[in-house]
Amino acid sequence: MKVVVQRVSGAEVKVDDKVVGSIGRGYLVLLGVGNGDTREDADRIAAKLINLRIFPDENDKINLSLADVDGELLVVSQFTLYADCRKGNRPNFINAAKPDEAEALYEYFLKILREKVASVECGVFGADMKVSLVNDGPFTVILE
């Protein structure tokens, strides 16, 4: 699994010009599922994400987690995180999981997060989505 985490002051995702997910302060999470990824991988990444301390405290030190700031999550599936651009100019996605496998892990990942975080929004798996965000910092990290 590959996850791009962006600390945001707000984010939303639209499908067919309709907002399907929207958050205030929290994380926009772009999730890519690769061949061979498992539920154990999803458990590990979800735990890391929830406990990640990338919000500033009262001394402006990066020290607070999502729970510490009552943060929200917006999770968007993004198979293009597995793009292989080493040869030629057109990426191949051979390392991305097949859609049915990826969707099952995406849904499982959302389930885990919803058990631990009060506000979890999401995109629509496989849809053409338009994602808007205000990156706070900017602060972006990658988890694998």
* Catalytic member of 55, 80, 139, 140: 80
Angle at alpha carbon of residue 105, lines to 12 and 111, rounded to 5°: 65
Look at residue 70 in the predicted model and tell me its pLDDT: 96
* Catalytic member of 38, 79, 109, 125: 79
Residue 140 annotated as catalytic: no
Look at residue 19 in the predicted model and tell me its pLDDT: 98
| CA distances (Å), origin 20, targets 89, 122, 139, 140 | 33, 7, 24, 23
**Across 125-139, average pLDDT:** 96
Look at residue 34 in the predicted model and tell me its pLDDT: 97
Residue 93 annotated as catalytic: no
Look at residue 140 in the predicted model and tell me its pLDDT: 96
pLDDT tens, residue by residue, 27-86: 999 999 999 999 999 999 999 999 999 999 999 999 999 999 999 999 999 999 999 999
Read off the pTM: 0.95
